[in-house]
Amino acid sequence: MAGPTLRDVAKRANVSIRTVSNVVNGYAPVSAELRARVQVALDELDYRPNLIARNLKQGRTGMIALVVPELDVPYFAELAREVITAARAHGYVVMVDQTDGDGERERELLGRDSRATMFDGLLLSPLTVSAEELRARGNRIPIVLLGEHIFNGSFHHVAIDNVAAARDATAHLLGLGRRRVAAIGDQPYATGETAQLRTAGYRQALARAGLEADERLIVSTRHFHRRLGAEAMESLLALPEPPDAVFCYNDLLALGAMRTLTRAGRRIPDDVAVVGIDDIEEGQYSTPSLTTVAPDKGEIARRAVDTLLESINGSAAAPAEIVVPHRLIVRESTAGE
């Protein structure tokens, strides 16, 4: 049996079909009294819009794409879940892909003919493409950028304040009385902007505490992976004066570092306190549980999806940097049991 139509709703509400269509699609202003009457009829008849027909009529697919560097990094997997939830609330389906941090893959996505894509807009977390390359891209698909690549307000961009997040993490360790605070995850090269911002926050916290940064305590890693965190911690423990605390640039590095500390017989946090960033679920159940700086992933997803859909509908404001809040979550790796 076919479901109720716009004609059925219009008859129940005693209004025109055009009025019902305007309420359902949000095309034109409708008085509060008429909108309420139509909404009652929609609810009573359990009307569900035909999204496929609507999208075809508007020349849209009803899908958006989310493209991140690595799906097996838990932060991106958890963010993808939040994006899917946010998009579903607007009747959109999300296609998810990864670039493996490959610049050519990022450029290929941006250079695609917009008529050949299967999505109406793109959420992209880039690692290598520049603002100039984005401006020169070969299509005009609406795009919102995620992550910490710096674009200076040229595009819609949703991220946390990485300098502040790193400063808060380091200040927490200093507040515990630790004075040899190491940093794991620096990336002093062109595509390492997230890491560079976190190094800046780390240095700021030390300076505010009246301490000079010991360059031997800052360890670079090519990626933010567990194995590299473990290897970096091994090098720090080999120093004549090892650290008494370590700020890791994400939770995976921190989990790797804690593995090395445990194997070396160092007590966490008694001998070495550890802080990460991302608040991935794994950190809640590690032993000890991991103190972390938590970006509001739900808010990142909602703001990104809302901004992208506004761009698709032609109602977005001028491009802007959207800064989403973060908070420090103190667990056993700095507070003990």
Give the per-residue SS3 of the chain: CCCCCHHHHHHHHCCCHHHHHHHHHCCCCCCHHHHHHHHHHHHHHCCCCCHHHHHHHHCCCCEEEEEECCCCCHHHHHHHHHHHHHHHCCCCEEEEEECCCCHHHHHHHHHCCHHHCCCCEEEECCCCCCHHHHHCCCCCCCEEEECCCCCCCCCCEEECCHHHHHHHHHHHHHHCCCCCEEEEEECCCCCCHHHHHHHHHHHHHHHHCCCCCCHHHEEECCCCCHHHHHHHHHHHHCCCCCCCEEEECCHHHHHHHHHHHHHCCCCCCCCCEEEEECCCHHHHHCCCCCEEEEECHHHHHHHHHHHHHHHHCCCCCCCCEEECCEEEECCHHHHCC
Can you tell me the distance from the alpha carbon of 188 to that of 195, in angstroms, rounded to the nearest whole number? 8
Per-residue pLDDT for 38 more than 80? yes
- CB of 9 within 8 A of CB of 41? yes
Work out the mean pLDDT of the chain and round it to a whole number.
Answer: 88
User: What is the model's pLDDT at position 133?
Assistant: 78
User: What is the model's pLDDT at position 53?
Assistant: 52
- CB of 181 within 8 A of CB of 203? no
Best CA proximity match to 325, nearest among 301, 304, 295, 286? 295
Can you tell me the distance from the alpha carbon of 208 to that of 203, in angstroms, rounded to the nearest whole number? 9
User: What is the model's pLDDT at position 60?
Assistant: 61
User: What is the model's pLDDT at position 114?
Assistant: 54
Burial bucket for residue 140 (CB in 10 Å: 0-12, 13-18, 19+): exposed
Structure-token pair, residue 105? 């893959």
User: What is the model's pLDDT at position 325?
Assistant: 95
User: What is the model's pLDDT at position 233?
Assistant: 98
Best CA proximity match to 254, nearest among 293, 222, 284, 226? 226
Higher model confidence: residue 293 or residue 49?
Answer: 293
Structure-token pair, residue 119? 């999505």
pLDDT in tens, 88-107: 888 889 999 998 878 788 88
Cβ count within 10 A of residue 134: 19
Higher model confidence: residue 107 or residue 316?
Answer: 107
Q: What average pLDDT does this structure show over 214-225?
A: 96
Least confident of 17-21, 89-93, 111-115: 111-115
Least confident of 52-61, 165-174, 228-237: 52-61
CA dist list (Å): 169 to 198, 218, 244, 283: 10, 15, 14, 15
User: What is the model's pLDDT at position 18?
Assistant: 83
- CB of 152 within 8 A of CB of 315? no
What global pTM score does this model have? 0.81
Per-residue pLDDT for 115 more than 80? no
pLDDT band at 184 (very low <50, low <70, confident <90, very high): very high
Least confident of 54-68, 145-159, 246-260, 269-283: 54-68
Residues of the chain above pLDDT 70, percent: 89
Q: What average pLDDT does this structure show over 306-320?
A: 85
Structure-token pair, residue 103? 């610049």
Beta bridge partners of 293: 277, 328
- CB of 42 within 8 A of CB of 24? yes
- CB of 187 within 8 A of CB of 222? yes
Per-residue pLDDT for 185 more than 70? yes
CA dist list (Å): 334 to 70, 96, 119, 163, 174: 29, 36, 44, 21, 11
Least confident of 5-9, 112-116, 162-166: 112-116
Higher model confidence: residue 63 or residue 56?
Answer: 63
What's the first-to-final CA gap in the chain, in angstroms? 61
User: Which residue matches tokens 């802007």?
Assistant: 320
User: What is the model's pLDDT at position 149?
Assistant: 67
Per-residue pLDDT for 26 more than 70? no
Q: What average pLDDT does this structure show over 164-190?
A: 95
User: Which residue matches tokens 């859909």?
Assistant: 309
Q: What average pLDDT does this structure show over 232-250?
A: 98
Higher model confidence: residue 208 or residue 194?
Answer: 208
User: What is the model's pLDDT at position 59?
Assistant: 55
